[in-house]
Amino acid sequence: MAKPMTKTQLVSALAEEMGADKKTAGSALDAVIAVITSEVSGGGAVTLPGVGKIYCRERPERMVRNPATGEQIKKEADKVVKMTIAKALKDSVNG
C-alpha cells in the first residue's frame, strides 16, 4: 500500500491542478477544511461530489469490555465522525 499523501504534497498537487501558486492552494484547502469542520461539528453533513459524505453520528450509551482485565465498563453516549464513500470513487478504484 502506498504512503498517504501529506498536506504539503496535497497543496502542491492542488496548486498544479488549479494553475495557481501554493499559497493560494493552501488557503483554499484550509478554507474547505474549516467549512467542513464547522458544519460537521454543528451536527450537519457535507457532501463532496465524487468523494463522499462526511457526517456526525451519535452513539448510544453502551457496555464495553476492558481487554486487559475483562471487566465490563459502561461507556457514555458520544458522537463519532463518519464518512460514506461515493459510488463514483469506489468504481474508479475497483475498475
Indicate the domain borders of the chain.
Answer: 1-42, 45-95
pLDDT digits (tens, 9 = 90+) for 28-72: 999 999 999 999 999 999 999 999 999 999 999 999 999 999 999
CATH architecture of the domain 45-95 equals Irregular (4.10)
Contacts of 52 (CB under 8 A, 6+ apart): 83, 84, 85, 86, 89
Which cell numbers hold the place of 20?
495557481
**pLDDT exceeds 80 at position 1:** no
Largest CA distance in the chain: 57
pTM for this model (two decimals): 0.78
- Rounded to a whole number, what is the distance in angstroms from the first to the last CA of the chain? 17
Confidence of residue 25 (pLDDT cuts 50, 70, 90): very high
